[in-house]
């Protein structure tokens, strides 16, 4: 049994066994049980901003322009194949 399966089994047992219990108490019980399995909560961090970076030879705008042109060309080919198959 994997750690994930053990944790799910334990949480299922706690949640189904605590009908009508205080939700805060149940949450604390779940956290203590997970900590007993080795889980250590970490502080949440804001996600890093995603930014496309260019290469030494191409700035980001040129790179995006080329990617867009490739995507448009693939879409046109797919549309031609789809409509070509329907006409036959």
Concatenated DSSP letters for 5-68? HHHHHHHHHHHHH-TTS-HHHHHHHHHHHHHHTT-------PPPPP-----SSS-HHHHHHHHH
Question: Which range of residues forms the domain containing residue 8?
Answer: 3-36
| Same domain, residue pair 86 and 55 | yes
| Same domain, residue pair 32 and 59 | no
User: Structure pTM?
Assistant: 0.37
| Same domain, residue pair 57 and 81 | yes
Q: What is the pLDDT of residues 18-73, one digit of tens each?
A: 777 787 787 888 888 888 888 877 777 776 777 666 677 777 788 888 889 999 99
Question: What is the number of structural domains in the chain?
Answer: 2
Any domain includes 71: yes
C-alpha span between 12 and 1 (Å, rounded): 15
pLDDT of residue 35: 84
| Same domain, residue pair 56 and 83 | yes
Which tokens belong to 25?
A: 């108490």
Any domain includes 70: yes
23-36 helix and 3-17 helix, angle to the nearest 10 degrees = 150
Any domain includes 42: no
Any domain includes 44: no
């Amino acid at each position: 049994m994997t750690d994930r399966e053990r944790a799910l089994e334990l949480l299922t047992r706690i949640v189904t066994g605590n009908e009508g219990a205080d939700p805060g108490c149940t949450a604390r019980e779940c956290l203590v049980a997970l900590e007993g399995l080795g889980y250590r909560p970490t502080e949440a961090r804001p996600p890093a901003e995603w930014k496309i970076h260019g290469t030494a030879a191409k700035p980001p705008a040129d790179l995006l322009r080329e990617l867009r042109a490739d995507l448009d060309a693939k879409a046109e080919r797919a549309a031609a194949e789809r409509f070509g198959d329907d006409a036959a």
